Amino acid sequence: MSDALWEDLAATLESVAATSSKREKVARLSAYLRQLPEPVLPVACVYLTGRVLPPGHPHKLQIGWAAVVEVLQDLSGASDREVADLYLRWGDLGDVAAELVARRRTEPLFPERLSILAAHALLERAAAAAGKGAAAARRRALRALLEQARPLEAKYLVRVLTGDLRVGLKEGLLQEAVATAFGAPAEAVRRADLLQSDLGAVAALARRGALQEASLQYFRPFRFMLAGTLSTPEEAFEDAAEVFAEDKYDGVRVQVHCAGGRLALYSRTLDDVTPAFPELHRPLLGVGEAYMADAEVVAWAGARPAPFHRLQQRLRRTDPEAMAGQVPVALFVFDLLRVGDRDLVDFPLEERRRAGEALRWTPPVYLATGRRVRDVAALRQAFQEARARGNEGLVVKRLDAPYQPGRRGRLWLKWKEPLATLDVVVVGVEFGHGKRARVLSDYTFAVRDGDRLRVVGRAYSGLTDAEIQQLTAWFQEHTVRDLGRFRWVEPRVVLEVAFDAVTRSDRHDSGYALRFPRILRVRTDKGPEEISTLEEVESLYLQQAREPPDPSFRPPTGGVP
């Protein structure tokens, strides 16, 4: 048989969730993967990452919570109130789906077992639907699946569709399971996955014993290398006599892929954002060679960067052509990852920089400003100059370092104003006061603690009226539970917040609170899986701890549904 049943995938996930032992999780998963027929393996692997389609896939399956709830209500006859109560009880839409599917009013006339490939074909077709009828086509596909699905299948189908499997499967474990299934070294699987960003394709290579064939592929985005934080300028020279001090541009990061007359720009979340920046297309296509680059798009005021919020206006608009005139942008290329058919990721930065210098960039595309520095005085000087050019500060890079996709290490260190910030996700919202009495302007936000979200504070200042208006509309549509003044919302909106201190607090379930939080910006470029963690909050707390930790302290239970 060349297909496999959804039922077995769901049962595997359920059994993976049932054990907390990592070894056991890997063992169960690898046994499942090993017996999958050839065509099913890549599909099932992508599902195990909590996605229907791998990153960079030309289509996106936009089936949101609202659509899932609507179809479930339609099938089961459950009222809004019942759905809200069930959600509050389970705290998970997948569990709600399992329960409501069990209450279906009509059963299919010819019940068939749901197969992975048949279900996937349906979802792929729905993802490819474009234009006016697209949303309806997606709902029809969802309905067709949930009409057939048994409760356990519905639970995991909905979890895959909403992007969170909740079975304690970190990426590393999945990679390990693939390695174990096909007798490959875990490191080789990890590396192949970082280059290909598609665990399904990697699993297929592992099964053939061909992991060494994994390489960067044009138009398949991969994860960005991230920077650690420089606490003192002296630290820059701890492991190197000379470093590269590059301006830190305050914009949004993009990965540029250009080959065969085609161009794509991918965001940090690996989404295709090419249409947002039409004026960059021509200069990027005009380089004359195939290449992949890492770069920052900056709002541009002629010769200097414009404030970051100008760029956000640009990202939100649906008419990029019109916005191009109003908020021009520039692109600063700071790394070259592939030129022609040569992967550069393993080459030292020095050499990648030379590759960047050898290409022809034309305004508004520029190579990032940077220079070699050998001592603290020169580094401070470079920082001041970067600030004078209107940039945030520096990213201090090791000249001998490879490009490490998906890693945050000490090979790149960012140095900006000495102000701690955290990226948090909004989980609850409330109407404001006075002129903000009609808008949802008061935000309760959380950080990540493994699979859970933990509230660390509330903020209500820092955004413009227009931003609040837009967010209000979004929160109204994505409310999970409406409690009158306050409502729990889908954890999707990421904010960057600044604050003065972290304190111990029994007000929130994280056990911490941020003192005087203010919103710096909405991070449309970041997804909720990329937010700061409770560990970061703890370590900030410990760094500034003037008060000794209280061993009897226990945070309250409950928290984000």
Q: Interface residues with ligand ATP (CB under 6 A)?
A: 226-227, 246-249, 253, 296, 334, 368, 395, 414
What element of type H or E holds 349? helix 349-358
Of the pair 174, 236, the CB lying nearest ligand ATP is at: 236
Of the pair 419, 437, the CB lying nearest ligand ATP is at 419
β-bridge pairing 494-498 and 486-489: unpaired
Tell me whether residue 83 or residue 386 sits nearer to ligand ATP (CB atom).
386
State in angstroms the smallest separation of the CB of 368 from ligand ATP. Answer: 5
CB-count burial class (<10 Å; 0-12, 13-18, 19+) for 418: exposed
CB neighbours of residue 198 within 10 Å: 26
Q: For every residue of 79-145, which 3-state class applies, written as one string?
A: CHHHHHHHHHHHCCHHHHHHHHHHCCCCCCCCCCCCEHHHHHHHHHHHHHCCCCCHHHHHHHHHHHH
> Which CB sits closer to ligand ATP, 71 or 299?
299
In the structure encoding, which two tokens stand for residue 439, read together? 């808008």
Minimum CB–partner distance for residue 156 and ligand ATP (Å): 31
Q: In the complex with ligand ATP, which residue's Cβ is closer, 95 or 496?
A: 496
Residue 251 tokens read as 């914009």
509 or 525: CB nearest ligand ATP: 525
> Least distance (Å) from ligand ATP to the CB of residue 296?
4
Whether 248 is catalytic = yes
Catalytic hit among 248, 397, 416, 526: 248
**Least gap, CB of 208 to ligand ATP (angstroms):** 35
Torsion sign over Cα 290, 292, 295, 297: positive
Q: Which is nearer to ligand ATP, 286 or 409 (CB)?
A: 409
Beta carbons within 10 angstroms of residue 363's beta carbon? 9
Nearer to ligand ATP, 75 or 227 (CB): 227
Rounded CA gap, 311 and 250, in Å? Answer: 10
Three-class SS state of 476: helix
Q: How far apart are CB 47 and ligand ATP at their closest, in Å? A: 28
Which three-class secondary structure state does DSSP give residue 266? strand
Contact 245, 394 (CB under 8 A): yes
Of 210, 148, 141, 152, the C-alpha closest to 182 is: 210
CA distance 314 to 276: 7
Alpha-carbon torsion angle 28, 29, 33, 34, nearest 10: -40
Taking the complex as a whole, the smallest distance from the CB of residue 521 to ligand ATP amounts, in Å, to: 9
What is the largest distance, in Å, between two alpha-carbon atoms of the chain?
Answer: 78
Distance of closest approach, residue 334 Cβ to ligand ATP, in angstroms:
4
Residues whose CB is less than 8 angstroms from the CB of residue 15 and which lie 6 or more positions away in sequence, other chains included = 28
Pairing between strand 486-489 and 408-415? unpaired
Tokens of 361: 């960039």
Whole-number minimum distance, CB 80 to ligand ATP, in Å?
Answer: 38
User: Looking at the annotation, which residues are catalytic?
Assistant: 248
